[in-house]
Structure 1
Amino acid sequence: MHVQLSKLRQAYRSKVVLDGLDLTLAPGVTGLLGPNGAGKTTLMRTLATVQPPVGGTITLDGVAVTSERGAREVRRRIGYLPQKFGWDPGMRIRDFVEYAAWLREVPDARRSDEVEKALGQVDLLDRRNERMSKLSGGMRQRAGIAWAIVGGPGLVILDEPTVGLDPRQRLQFRKILSELKDTTVLLSTHLIDDVAAACDRVVVLHSGRILFEGDVAEMAARGREGLPGETPLERAYMELLPVEERQL
């Protein structure tokens, strides 16, 4: 799925959060970086059609989303995992993921296979009959990732998906991303090493505006010595921030 945001504006009452934002997303994994309060979650909620923008346009595969009816139609093709997602404590993992497939209108004939595939990708297939309330935080997060990817949506939006995952599970998550190269993925994270390891492109957001959009290698090349950070990508990120925010 190709995504085009043009002059996107989002606000809460009188507070402007996104201000005339232009962004293009294509198949592959795009990392979204930025400090707390940059507008990352607002951007993802708007892109997922959870809340309509107050200005500008969202275009998916050449079709502008201009109404609630249009938003309902494109939601079938979007997998969205918010930072804090809801779940019924009595639900089994399998039921939870199958509900996502049903919402995405995955045909009955292949819904079961798609659920099994998603659970296998997040290493929960052998735990599929466990209740959501019995899971550890990391397992619940993996169930959420399965929710987002089941049925092969064209656009997958992941807001801090590696929170609660241990190092092995984070490596597994990166493997999942590597299998989604034909999908348009927007990944918000505070872990720059995840961006370096798993993303093709990166967007740096600050105060509702884009400070950088481009290839990960292109950004890393800007990471000059003398700035805080252990890697070129970390130093490049710090260089993009306003001077007063670079001090540790």
Structure 2
Amino acid sequence: MLELTANQWNTIYNVFSFGLISMLACTVYTLVSQSRVLPKYRNALVLSSMVTFIAGYHYWRIFNSFSESSDGYMVATTGAGSFNEGYRYVDWLLTVPLLLVEVVAVLALAKAASSSLITRLVPASAAMIALGYPGEISADDGTKILWGVLSTIPFLYILYVLFVELGKSLDRQPAGVAATIGRLRLLLIATWGVYPISYLFPLLGITGTDAFMYRQIGYTVADVLAKCVFGLTIYKIAKMKSAAEGMSEDK
């Protein structure tokens, strides 16, 4: 059991609430915005809606798990009825590959180029999440480091594909799209960087209730940025490309 202070418990509760409503609101917005872009870019918005819907569902489960594992300000972290951190990894296993597919979909590349990028990005992203989970649930520092290093390998490969392979396709994009994609890639790196920092809290000397609270805050804020802000940027790119191809701005 973790004995949180009233401020810590309320902060975590409110952060989960913020994450949940952000995902749901973004899902609704991207769904109703379908008609504002050309049909060939709507798949990217559908994927964005799927990402935030899946994340919203898991935040609902996380929110409930936190409430149900609490007895006053005491939170059970082991045994039956404990707070289930695994919901995050199930969410990431589903949504991180979809985030990368969104980027490819909104560019509307040739079929062969799209397939090549997707068949490399999706397995690498799934491997990154799967390899990180054993370290997340381990209390041993050596195990954390081992699985953290292993999960970094596919992460570096994803960066290579996004910055080198995908970069080759950006010269043929409308004005402003390449720069926005560049910012989108930087957003991914910045938000994904929060996860390993939170993951390594015990190695940084941050333990106990502080580590638990900061980890939940870090993961949730990173999720909102990596899914909601990312999805809204995908919508912006779809609008830019639709306008460049003759779609009226008043749609």
With the length of structure 2 as denominator, give the TM-score of the two structures: 0.28
Bigger radius of gyration among the two? 2
Identify, as 1 or 2, the structure richer in strand.
Answer: 1
Identify, as 1 or 2, the structure richer in helix.
Answer: 2
With the length of structure 1 as denominator, give the TM-score of the two structures: 0.28
